Amino acid sequence: MRRLAYIKTFGCQMNEHDSERMLALLEGCGYQETQNLDEADVILVNTCTVREKPEQKAYSILGRFQELRENNPDLIVGIAGCVAQQEGERLLARIPTLDFILGPGKIHHLPEILHEVEKGKRGLCAVGFEDGASVNLPLPHTEQLRAYVTIMQGCDNFCSYCIVPSVRGRERSRPSGDILAEIHALIQRGTKEVILLGQNVNSYANNDPRELTFPRLLAKIDEIPGLERIRFTTSHPKDLTEESIKAFGQLKHLCEHFHLPFQAGSNTVLTKMNRGHTREEYLAKVKRLREVTPQISITADVMVGFPGEGEEDFLQTLELMRAVEFDGLFSFKYSPRKGTRAAQWRNDCTSEVKQRRLEILQELQREITLKKNKALEGEVREVLVEGCSRNSPHKMMGRTRCNRIVNFPGGSELVGKLVFVKITEGLQNSLRGECCG
Ligand code: 5AD
Ligand code: SF4
């Protein structure tokens, strides 16, 4: 009998990657993926707790699944990801019908846990990190043109607002041999682009002198035959070294895109955030990245309404944005996270203030993004074709090396190919173009 699994993923690329690997494990147990909730035999919610919003969304969706379960007592419901790690057994008190709880460091235990649940056990909980550091999880069954590859997990930075160190643990790097072997295997199955993942990739293997440094690892990956593109995320400005910056001028397949969160433009706020860098140091790193690679696209994360952020501090965030002119920006309202230092501080920023600051900031970024996209009109860019365009079956969609989405007329025979596209129109969120070779 065909058994079906439905996975709902919240949060970052790390979680998307974990969901792919959990699906591969489920497939190994005889399940197939379904997008249709009503026909699922197993529902897995992969949660995020980095901000209040994704966490609330996860709880509300779990409530809905509980109702489904009332109609179908055989339905298995599990919760994975960062809420699972943070709350552990407490989740069982809150949602007694849960079958299992699986933290991000215990993903490899999914088959045993599922087996137990199938035998009738309920309320199983596997969280913690002690043996999850260098486990090689099975590759997804389907071919992936762009594939995530975890190179390190966890974070040692303890920014005062951030829950990541407690839900993803301390920094642990995967052996470079395992990473390279995984990329080889992915290429055998059609992968053309890898996105190296870690909470802080620039400190890859920092505490292991026998291991490759991050830029050396990039250089090794760059030599793998058949791989067309390399990307990585996320970087912390304080750990970004000159050697890593120079890799951009030297490695053929390393794409010209850098995601470098700055979080705030004011030094007072940065200090309270325990970021370990000043606004001037951040600007200096951006300057170096652009000196080495003038066409590099730079994106970042920023938040508004951190405790103590005054109007003057906020204006400095806007000023930094104008100085850098980011190609894209992910912006958030600060939300206190239980267990972090900042959660204990009084916050004078009301939700109205946060909302107003976010709107001003996003409006400014929209102007900058559009201006930058328009500036590409008439230019020719290399595009890796990913599939059909969302809006038209006669158009294809791909990404430039700088990570911009391009839609252009073409057929599905182009999927997986690198083509040159002349940009004809720069829009707010994408580009239009014409294939020219
Ligand atoms: N509140 C709001 N945003 C946060 N981020 C991390 N923690 C919080 C928080 N407590 C944002 C940061 C980070 C991104 C992944 O989420 O900008 O870079
Ligand atoms: Fe969310 Fe952080 Fe967990 Fe990613 S690692 S899912 S951003 S809490």
Q: Which atom of ligand 2 is nearest to the CA of 12?
A: 4
In the beta sheet, which residues pair with residue 419?
Answer: 383
In whole angstroms, give the CA distance from residue 164 to residue 134.
Answer: 19
12: Cβ below 6 Å to ligand 2? Answer: yes
* CA 47 to centroid of ligand 2, rounded, Å: 8
For 357, the enclosing helix (H) or strand (E) is: helix 351-374
Cβ(316)–Cβ(283) below 8 Å:
no
In whole angstroms, give the CA distance from residue 34 to residue 3.
Answer: 9
| Residue 68, number of CB atoms within 10 A of its CB | 14
In whole angstroms, give the CA distance from residue 140 to residue 19.
Answer: 10
In whole angstroms, give the CA distance from residue 57 to residue 101.
Answer: 17
In whole angstroms, give the CA distance from residue 248 to residue 69.
Answer: 51
Coil, helix or strand at residue 404: coil
Closest C-alpha to ligand 1, atom 12: 301
- With tokens 């407690």, the residue in question is 166
Q: Name the CA radius of gyration of the chain, rounded.
A: 22
Question: What is the torsional sign of CA 20, 258, 295, 220?
Answer: negative
In whole angstroms, give the CA distance from residue 396 to residue 386.
Answer: 8
For 289, the enclosing helix (H) or strand (E) is: helix 279-292
pLDDT, residue 391, reads: 86
Could you give the angle at the alpha carbon of 368 between the alpha carbons of 363 and 372, nearest 5°? Answer: 150
Q: Which atom of ligand 1 is nearest to the CA of 163?
A: 7
Alpha helices in 72-169, H assignment, sequence order: 81-87, 90-94, 110-118, 164-168
Q: Which ligand is located closest to the Cα atom of residue 237? A: 1
Q: Which of 34, 92, 83, 28 is nearest to 55 (CA)?
A: 83
* CA 274 to centroid of ligand 2, rounded, Å: 19
* CA 96 to centroid of ligand 1, rounded, Å: 30
Tens of pLDDT along the chain (437 residues)? 789 999 999 999 999 999 999 999 999 999 999 999 989 999 999 999 999 999 999 999 988 888 888 888 899 999 999 999 999 999 988 888 899 999 999 999 999 999 999 999 999 999 998 754 567 889 888 889 999 999 999 999 999 999 999 998 999 999 999 999 999 999 999 999 999 999 999 999 998 999 999 999 999 999 999 999 999 999 999 999 999 999 998 999 999 999 999 999 999 999 999 999 999 999 999 999 999 999 999 999 999 999 999 999 999 999 999 999 999 999 999 999 999 999 999 999 999 999 999 999 999 999 999 999 999 999 999 999 999 999 888 999 999 999 999 999 999 999 999 999 999 999 999 999 999 97
pLDDT, residue 132, reads: 46
Across 70-107, b (16+ Cβ under 10 Å) vs e yields eeeeebbbbbbbbbbbbbeeebbeebeebbbbbbbbbb
* CA 83 to centroid of ligand 2, rounded, Å: 9
Strand bridging mode 405-409 / 395-400: antiparallel
* Phi, psi angles (nearest 5°) of residue 115: -60, -45
334: Cβ below 6 Å to ligand 1? Answer: yes
* CA 328 to centroid of ligand 1, rounded, Å: 16
In whole angstroms, give the CA distance from residue 81 to residue 163.
Answer: 13
Enter the tokens of residue 147: 């594939």
pLDDT, residue 393, reads: 87
Instruction: Count CA atoms within 13 Å of residue 152 on its CB side.
Output: 28
Closest C-alpha to ligand 2, atom 4: 12
pTM summary value: 0.95
Instruction: Identify the DSSP state of 196.
Output: E
Closest C-alpha to ligand 1, atom 13: 301
pLDDT, residue 158, reads: 93
In whole angstroms, give the CA distance from residue 129 to residue 204.
Answer: 18
Alpha helices in 304-395, H assignment, sequence order: 311-324, 351-374
Q: Which atom of ligand 1 is nearest to the CA of 263?
A: 17
pLDDT, residue 341, reads: 97
* CA 407 to centroid of ligand 2, rounded, Å: 30
In whole angstroms, give the CA distance from residue 206 to residue 39.
Answer: 46
164: Cβ below 6 Å to ligand 2? Answer: yes
Q: Which of 16, 19, 50, 57 maximizes ligand 2 atoms within 8 Å of its Cβ, making it the mutation to test the pocket?
A: 50
Instruction: Identify the DSSP state of 28.
Output: H
